[in-house]
Amino acid sequence: MRKREVRVRIHVKRVINIDLVAQCFKARVLVEASWVEPMMAHLDKEELVWDSENEKALTLQRAGKLKLKDSDKEGDKFYFAPRLSFRNLVELASDEEMWYVIYENTDDPEKTIGPIVCLRWAFTGVFQEMFELQWFPLDTQELSFELLSDDEEAGLVHNQSGHYRSSCNASRDEFPLSSEYILSDRVRFKESETKASASAQKHTYSLLSMQIFVKRRVAYWGINVVIPLSIITGAVFASYFVPQGDLSDRCSITTTLLLAQVDT
């Protein structure tokens, strides 16, 4: 079955937090997905207006439906929506917004192909990420947004148009962790599919991974983490200057230094 191409771009407006302990990060994002809708080819420009209730748009999109504003005149008629969700999203803030913009297709003057429907989805969320810390503090981390379509008909692809470039806001003024990390404005895309074994019906669904990158500032982590821990670890040799018979004092020194390492 040939899938309907859904072109995707992302704008990471702000990376708010990176939590190494919880293995997650928090960001404000704007996702834009666009596709051609042949079922709307016969409609006039004035009719290409979506039903602008935010909660209704969110609910219908998750059900794979798009409703136009005046469709009630002839009874409810629904059009295709790609049923987008983020597979690694673990927490969603209350500022979620979703809206549509429908453009006339300049490549379709005869109105046979259909207009371009553009879905825009803005929200702040916490995303799960398995950090690779083997090279700490010399590491570069990938922060991934795993966009999934629950519709077999949809095929998510990177929108490579120069007019709709994906980006990440790497401004130090907008990145609260700029003293700890260097944030790149580059976004990398990877197209794949889910495994059939993950579906009860043995279906596969389109999966689009979008990755941004943060590089750890070695000086910051060296001064604030590595050097303090090295000093605390080195201080354990102080217990050797305590007479062997004073076992309780030697254990007290070692335990105190161990607790200091944990707190650090």
In tens, the pLDDT along 189-201 reads 999 999 988 888 8
Q: Which fold has domain 4-216?
A: Acetylcholine Binding Protein; Chain: A, (2.70.170)
Would strands 167-168 and 4-19 be described as parallel, antiparallel, or unpaired? parallel
Q: Looking at per-residue confidence, does 193 or 104 come out higher?
A: 193
Would strands 89-92 and 154-158 be described as parallel, antiparallel, or unpaired? unpaired
Which residues 6+ apart lie within 8 Å of 54 measured at CB?
A: 97, 98, 99
What is the distance between the alpha carbons of residues 3 and 120, in angstroms, rounded to a whole number?
Answer: 21
**Global pTM?**
0.82
Which residues 6+ apart lie within 8 Å of 70 measured at CB?
A: 47, 49
Residue 66: C-alpha distances to residues 40, 43, 52, 118 (Å): 11, 15, 11, 11
Calculate the average pLDDT of the chain: 87
∠ CA 98-100-103, nearest 5°, is: 160
What is the distance between the alpha carbons of residues 264 and 257, in angstroms, rounded to a whole number?
Answer: 10
Predicted pLDDT of residue 117 = 95
Q: What percent of the chain has pLDDT over 70?
A: 94
Tell me: pLDDT of 239 over 80. Answer: no
What is the distance between the alpha carbons of residues 97 and 52, in angstroms, rounded to a whole number?
Answer: 11
Go through 215-253 and write b for each residue having 16 or more CB atoms within 10 A of its CB, e for each that does not: ebbeeebeeeeeeeeeebeeeeeebeeeeeeeeeebeeb
